[in-house]
Amino acid sequence: MFRLSMIRLVFLAAGVVVLGGLLWHIGPFRIWETMERVGGVAFCMILAPFLVVYVLDTYGWSLTLGPWASRVGFVRLFMVRMAGEAINATTPTAMLGGEPMKGYLLTRYEVPMVEGLASVVTAKTIMSLAQILFMLLGLGATFWLVGGTEHNVLVAFVSVGLLGFGLFLFLVVQRYGVGRGVLVLADACRIRSRRLEAYRPQLLELDRTIHAFYRERRRTFLLSMGVHFTAWLTELLEVYAILYFLGAEAGWPLSLSIAAMAALIKGSASFVPGGIGVQEGGYLVFLTALGYGEMTGMTFAVIRRVREILWILIGLVFLAVLRDKAPFGNYPFNLTCNRFSYSLSASLTR
């Protein structure tokens, strides 16, 4: 666990260096002047589409939560989701650290831990499937608009293929059983934990709940996927707004192409905390390839980063509010996961 954290910190440091180099190359004062010309009102309009995205994603999650969603309430469910996403974005956990926290925070509203975690797993899976469909649609739009060499086509589809393969493995794990997999892995590594044994019935019940969702709630699955896919499509509104207020030409097919590639770049950069440097470099290269200037490409990247930071801060505020209501000293599942991860890491590195 320590080695993995160190590797990710090295990637973070490298990303910061890359980001600093890009800003220095373009000129920080020139970028600031360009952002000033956008104005506060326009920037608020740029932020608006992602509020819609987050609301839709929360609704898609509420569908997998079933009748428990009404007990939590949509506003509180939105707060829980944003708090979890803030943890995903600010900790070296490859965008997964906040997911168990979402399940735990739901217990504050009398949602059983098993039901909460099962909804988190299924919602994450459905959202990832919708993301891959969205990226494939965007890649089709890209090649239709600007064409592409065999090399570019190969790189793009290999990237989507790798994300799809990762999702496939995640589905295989769910098919086998998430809880069962944890227990088998612990036994294989000769890890003995009384807390883990105490939660064995809950881990096995988690597997049964996830399997029951896919088997018995197929309409809910399809409806949730449609909601998440709509949320991904809404991202192109942000792209269109940024380019419009920067004075750059922006059509809807082109905005779809850029939004899909932005999702691909962000997904591929998950190994770097926050995607620092990798996202900005990817946006700059892609927009430059589409014929936009370096200034437009870098300002586009900076505006998206500022938007991301603002929503992370909002998520951290929600986390602080929820934390006051649910003391983390009673967070047994998280403690168990942390201890299991540490023990597993220690066993594998001996």
| DSSP for 189-229, written as a single string | TT---HHHHHTHHHHHHHHHHHHHHHHH-HHHHHHHHHHHH
% of the chain beyond a pLDDT of 70: 68
Q: Which of 191-195, 298-302, 346-350 has the lowest mean pLDDT?
A: 346-350
User: What pLDDT was estimated at residue 338?
Assistant: 43
The region, left, alpha or beta by phi > 0 then psi within -120 to 50, assigned to residue 247 is left
4-35 pLDDT, tens digit each: 556 666 666 676 776 677 777 677 777 777 77
At residue 190, φ and ψ (nearest 5 deg) are: 55, 40
What is the arithmetic mean of pLDDT over 312-340? 64
295-309 pLDDT, tens digit each: 888 888 888 888 888
* Residues 131 and 263: beta-carbon distance below 8 Å: yes
Examine the pLDDT at 331 and tell me if it is beyond 50: no
What is the arithmetic mean of pLDDT over 280-307? 85
User: What pLDDT was estimated at residue 12?
Assistant: 64
Query: Which residue would you say has higher pLDDT here, 333 or 290?
Result: 290
User: What pLDDT was estimated at residue 51?
Assistant: 93
* Residues 111 and 65: beta-carbon distance below 8 Å: yes
At residue 148, φ and ψ (nearest 5 deg) are: -175, 145
At residue 255, φ and ψ (nearest 5 deg) are: -65, -40
User: How many residues can be counted in the chain?
Assistant: 350
Q: Which residues contact 16 (CB under 8 A, 6 or more apart)?
A: 276, 277
Place 350 in a pLDDT band, splitting at 50, 70 and 90.
very low
What is the arithmetic mean of pLDDT over 268-283? 74
- The whole-model pTM stands at 0.79
Residue 137: DSSP 8-state: H
What is the arithmetic mean of pLDDT over 48-71? 93
**SS3 breakdown of the chain: % helix, strand, coil, rounded to 5?**
85, 0, 15
What is the arithmetic mean of pLDDT over 128-144? 84
User: What pLDDT was estimated at residue 57?
Assistant: 96
Between CA 52 and CA 164 the distance in angstroms is 26
List, as one string, the DSSP characters of 229-290: HHHHHHHHHHHHHHHHHTT----HHHHHHHHHHHHHHHHHTTTSGGGTTHHHHHHHHHHHHT
Closest CA to 200 of 211, 186, 214: 186
Query: Which residue would you say has higher pLDDT here, 152 or 245?
Result: 245
Examine the pLDDT at 212 and tell me if it is beyond 50: yes
Q: CA gyration radius for the chain?
A: 21
Place of tokens 């000769």: 190
Q: Best-predicted range by mean pLDDT among 94-103, 208-217, 231-240, 274-283?
A: 231-240
* Residues 343 and 196: beta-carbon distance below 8 Å: no
Between CA 79 and CA 311 the distance in angstroms is 11
Between CA 126 and CA 272 the distance in angstroms is 23
Examine the pLDDT at 243 and tell me if it is beyond 70: yes
Query: Which residue would you say has higher pLDDT here, 78 or 300?
Result: 78
Query: Which residue would you say has higher pLDDT here, 196 or 105?
Result: 105
